[in-house]
Structure 1
């Protein structure tokens, strides 16, 4: 059974408190008219991690609107050296508040922190500092570059042999570029670049990746003879291959660079 309780100011019938099921409202006399005034509110403070959601135990009427949420950084990264040349900024999105009329509870979602601006780029060179093995036929590199969404790697291939005259010909290669969340491995690889040359020249190469985001650039390559042999000083030699990566151009995506930012959320509502 529903009903209400009305408590009226004995000196002014236009000032009263109205209690209904699950709600309380205050009315003030404004120009001789009973007018809703500020109601009782709840103020609560919770810690919410960036990218996380919280459903407080308090119930709110949601009338005339869901509770207001005010964010204050509690633990916030302010700079990422892995994106040194990128446009870094602190951005805090407006919290999302979803009120359930059936339960009176609200789910609050928070996103914000240090972000690499979309489209900003960083050049990494030389890549030799990021080599992870010594296998000349299957070299690999891992480059820490925070918040990237794409990259292009540049280099060259040639082949040579240190015996009498230098001969440059007969090489085939593949070059793969990927992006990963960690240094352990790529989560996504771009299309492999490949080629075969038998003209003794030095050839520029490049390979790209896009379509995902992460904090590490992963590069792998293979080099081998394409089957061509040559003679020098009357002897026949197989080819010694060489691949050199000069640098990478990495493009940032609009994403949060850190994973442990924390906010204090002040929740005010009825």
Structure 2
């Protein structure tokens, strides 16, 4: 919601030095979600999922206890397994793009959603480097992408496959692989993708802010209060991290001389 309102959590996703959790659009987004959960009761809060409902969002959807939820394509195999065509529990289901929201700053409707990608690597400690390389080639090539596409697990990175019958179901697609039918939406969503910050310190500093979110959902603090406090704490930590990154590299030449001097002094003593 915050992203679709035009807000961004940081000033530069690759190397940020400013957090924007006090942006009115971010605060408004948290307020809106809290209103839907606590006042209108249109959706369960995160605490209710874990303590009261004791279920996951995907399980609530499968059991038809919620009509819609936000997820990634990786949930498809789980849903397919539970909702097999012809079974008693089956019902028609599909995917669609998240709705846009009005950016208060411009008055225009903005559509944006977080996304990401997958990569494969080989550990240099593997005792089977040749076999590992063959596996990586298979998974990142056409055979592996087709297999994952048919399983509904991942949108192929190769454009021709992402627009082909292995991903976009057609009349000849086996019925168990036809759901969700609207997988063309994964291609239509590309212009609206917002990639998450990639700076290695994002996880630590964002965690300091998001840890305050529970107080918003529980009603013990307003979004403005919690996010302002979280932003303050996270900014202090961010400034420390950036200062540490700017420290000069250790001078091994001087260090070696000092080390030898200390060693010689110890022998003389």
TM-score bin (small chain): under 0.3
TM-score (norm 2): 0.20
Question: Based on CA coordinates, which of the two structures has the bigger radius of gyration?
Answer: 1
More helix by share: 2
